[in-house]
């Protein structure tokens, strides 16, 4: 039975990875920041959300062992013998925890995303079994590049970054590459934006679209008069507020369901190349989603606001700034027309006889926004 140290088990992707590892012949050491009792309750909730955990009873205390660790501290803040014992015990170290706040400053996100990676690498370096390091990164380490196909081995900071989060994840990948130069093995996996249409659970993991969905749901329940009262503007004659959004016509974004991404991660981690070095793989949907499809999904929740994409600088009105602020990091991504090389995942899927997932359409994206369990949006479907 393999033993895997996994960070981020209480999060949106991490709980799905944990559920899948538990379906295999694995023991998992969950590295968490909470005290163990609270962490156990949170992991159980997160597993209930992810589904597909083990069939009999709770795994916590059985094949899931909780270790409270401080990602920001040297040797994860663990006592010497605890750290050394853990390092020697694990066959692999999977690092999924991160600060995913798109609006946070660089120092805040780096404390977790850069320093946390450094300390997880320390754990993997100390292990007698020379564990492979599986690092969950993001396709957005591509930074400011707009029109291109990003290669999997490409790691280039010269285009700048749209958010401090991206920059911190880029810095983390640099650390992983430097670590592996010492004859060690790392697999870097870069998911794109992850969503789900599964019901959310109270106090369970959330995803970026569910946050947007919650905000759109509130806006929908307040009605168009709210915008007039708050911003002193009236809708056009047809009752619709037209708001300009900065972007480019024809822009795309890559969105994948967390279920698909989890399958992809499990598929890609099976290819365990014994050669030292870093292997990097995009965990992306094979079809990029046009921004127009995405905007249509948002509009179906709030039909009296019509986004109009405009190129160049927008001297935004307060109403337009408000609408843009509903989507975390939203103002930055309307310019992208880039895709991601994913040949290795195509090959692995062909090997496993998996057919490509359908392109994401408006009804699916509406469901990711209007998720049951998201208070207020879940009532909209029937409104
Ligand atoms: N979701 C996406 O769309 C997406 C897309 C591309 C890549 N990714 C990457 O996928 C990974 C997982 O993302 P996610 O969506 O699952 O994020 P998430 O839901 O925000 O979960 C983040 C996880 O990291 C943990 N964490 C955060 N700060 C920590 C700290 N200081 N010490 C210990 N643990 C800490 C959280 O613990 P608590 O629960 O205690 O806060 C949680 O378990 C990240 O590496 C992210 O960069 C995500």
What confidence score (pLDDT) does residue 383 get?
Answer: 40
Q: For residue 236, what are the CA distances in angstroms to 120, 128, 268? A: 55, 68, 51
What atom of ligand 1 comes closest to residue 136's alpha carbon?
Answer: 45
Q: Which residue has the tokens 């093995």?
A: 185
Task: Pick from 6, 7, 8 the residue to mutate for probing ligand 1's pocket: most ligand atoms within 8 Å of its CB.
Answer: 8
What confidence score (pLDDT) does residue 334 get?
Answer: 83
Q: What is the CA radius of gyration of the chain?
A: 21
Between the CA of 35 and the centroid of ligand 1 the distance, in Å, is 17
What confidence score (pLDDT) does residue 382 get?
Answer: 41
Between the CA of 191 and the centroid of ligand 1 the distance, in Å, is 12
Could you list the pLDDT tens digit for every one of the 383 residues in the chain? 999 999 999 999 999 999 999 999 899 999 999 999 999 999 999 999 998 666 656 777 689 999 999 999 999 999 999 999 999 999 999 999 999 998 899 999 999 999 999 999 999 999 999 999 999 999 999 999 999 999 999 999 999 999 999 999 999 999 999 999 989 999 999 999 999 999 888 888 988 888 889 899 899 989 999 999 999 999 999 999 999 988 888 999 999 999 999 999 999 999 877 889 999 999 999 999 999 999 999 999 999 999 999 988 778 999 999 998 888 776 678 889 999 999 999 999 999 999 989 999 999 999 998 766 665 565 554 44
What atom of ligand 1 comes closest to residue 191's alpha carbon?
Answer: 6
Q: Which residue has the tokens 């795309």?
A: 252
Q: For residue 355, what are the CA distances in angstroms to 66, 347, 349? A: 37, 11, 7
What confidence score (pLDDT) does residue 381 get?
Answer: 44
What atom of ligand 1 comes closest to residue 194's alpha carbon?
Answer: 3
Task: Pick from 100, 201, 204 the residue to mutate for probing ligand 1's pocket: most ligand atoms within 8 Å of its CB.
Answer: 100
What atom of ligand 1 comes closest to residue 195's alpha carbon?
Answer: 3
Determine if residue 183 is left, alpha or beta; phi over 0 gives left, psi from -120 to 50 gives alpha, anything else beta.
left
Between the CA of 113 and the centroid of ligand 1 the distance, in Å, is 9
What atom of ligand 1 comes closest to residue 72's alpha carbon?
Answer: 31
What residues does ligand 1 touch, defined as CB less than 6 Å away?
A: 8, 10-14, 33-34, 71-72, 96-100, 112, 136, 138, 169, 191, 193-194, 205, 207-208
Between the CA of 166 and the centroid of ligand 1 the distance, in Å, is 13
Between the CA of 101 and the centroid of ligand 1 the distance, in Å, is 9
The closest of 12, 382, 36 to 209, measured between CA atoms, is 12
What atom of ligand 1 comes closest to residue 42's alpha carbon?
Answer: 39
Nearest alpha carbon, ligand 1 atom 42: 11
Between the CA of 15 and the centroid of ligand 1 the distance, in Å, is 10
CB 168 within 8 A of CB 109: yes
Q: For residue 16, what are the CA distances in angstroms to 52, 53, 247, 255, 348? A: 8, 9, 33, 17, 20
Between the CA of 95 and the centroid of ligand 1 the distance, in Å, is 10
The closest of 43, 29, 347, 381 to 205, measured between CA atoms, is 43
CB 304 within 8 A of CB 286: no
Q: For residue 325, what are the CA distances in angstroms to 215, 224, 329, 377? A: 10, 17, 8, 18
What confidence score (pLDDT) does residue 199 get?
Answer: 86
CB 221 within 8 A of CB 213: no
Nearest alpha carbon, ligand 1 atom 7: 138
Three state DSSP letters for the chain: CEEEEEECCCCHHHHHHHHHHHCCCEEEEEEECCCHHHHHHHHHHHHHHHCCCCCCCCCECCCEEEEECCCCCHHHHCCHHHHHHHHHHCCEEEECCCCCCCCCCHHHHHHHHCHHHHHHHHHHHHCCCCCEEEEECCHHHHCCCCCCEECCCCCCHHHCCCCHHHHHHHHHHHHHHHHHCCCCEEEEEEECEEECCCCCCCCCCCCHHHHHHHHHHHHHHHCHHHHHHHHCCCCCCCCCEEEEEECCCCCEECEEEHHHHHHHHHHHHHCCCCCCEEEEEEECCCCCEEHHHHHHHHHHHCCCEEEEEECCCCCCCHHHHHHHHCCCCHHHCCCCCCEECCHHHHHHHHHCCCCCCCCCCHHHHHHHHCCCCCCCHHHHHHC
What atom of ligand 1 comes closest to residue 71's alpha carbon?
Answer: 32
Task: Pick from 11, 41, 94, 262 the residue to mutate for probing ligand 1's pocket: most ligand atoms within 8 Å of its CB.
Answer: 11
What atom of ligand 1 comes closest to residue 97's alpha carbon?
Answer: 24
How far, in Å, CA of 331 to CA of 72, rounded?
30
Between the CA of 8 and the centroid of ligand 1 the distance, in Å, is 6
Nearest alpha carbon, ligand 1 atom 21: 11
What atom of ligand 1 comes closest to residue 139's alpha carbon?
Answer: 6
What confidence score (pLDDT) does residue 56 get?
Answer: 59
Between the CA of 371 and the centroid of ligand 1 the distance, in Å, is 20
Give the CA angle between residues 324, 330, 332 to the nearest 5°: 115
């Amino acid at each position: 039975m393999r033993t895997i140290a996994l960070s981020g088990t209480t999060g949106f992707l991490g709980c799905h990875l944990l559920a899948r590892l538990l379906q295999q012949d694995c023991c998992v050491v969950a590295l968490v920041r909470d005290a163990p009792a609270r962490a156990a309750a949170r992991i159980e909730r997160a597993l209930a959300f992810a589904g597909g955990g083990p069939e009999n009873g709770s795994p916590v205390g059985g094949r899931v062992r909780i270790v409270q660790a401080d990602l920001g501290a040297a040797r994860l803040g663990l006592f010497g013998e605890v750290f050394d014992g853990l390092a020697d015990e694990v066959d692999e170290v999977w690092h999924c925890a991160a600060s995913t706040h798109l609006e946070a400053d660089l120092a805040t996100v780096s404390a977790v995303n850069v320093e946390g990676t450094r300390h997880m690498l320390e754990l993997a370096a100390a292990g007698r079994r020379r564990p492979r390091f599986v690092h969950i990164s993001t396709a957005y380490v591509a930074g400011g590049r707009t029109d291109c196909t990003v290669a999997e081995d490409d790691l280039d900071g010269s285009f700048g970054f749209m958010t401090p989060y991206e920059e911190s994840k880029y810095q983390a990948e640099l650390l992983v590459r430097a670590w592996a130069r010492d004859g060690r093995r790392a697999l870097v996996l870069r998911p794109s934006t992850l969503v789900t249409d599964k019901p959310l659970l109270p106090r369970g993991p959330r995803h970026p679209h569910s946050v947007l969905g919650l905000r759109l749901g509130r806006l929908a329940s307040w009605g168009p008069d709210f915008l007039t009262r708050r911003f002193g503007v009236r809708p056009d004659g047809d009752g619709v507020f037209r708001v300009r959004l900065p972007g480019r016509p024809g822009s795309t974004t890559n969105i994948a369901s967390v279920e698909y991404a989890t399958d992809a991660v499990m598929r890609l981690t099976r290819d365990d190349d014994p050669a030292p070095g870093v292997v990097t793989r995009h965990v992306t949907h094979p079809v990029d989603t046009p921004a127009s499809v995405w905007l249509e999904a948002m509009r179906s929740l709030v039909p009296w606001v019509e986004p109009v994409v405009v190129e160049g600088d927008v001297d935004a009105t307060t109403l337009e700034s408000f609408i843009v602020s509903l989507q975390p990091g939203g103002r930055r991504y309307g310019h992208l027309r880039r895709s991601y090389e994913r040949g290795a995942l195509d090959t692995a899927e062909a090997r496993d006889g998996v057919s490509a997932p359908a392109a994401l359409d408006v009804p699916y994206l509406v469901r990711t926004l209007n998720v049951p369990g998201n208070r207020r949006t879940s009532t909209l479907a029937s409104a």
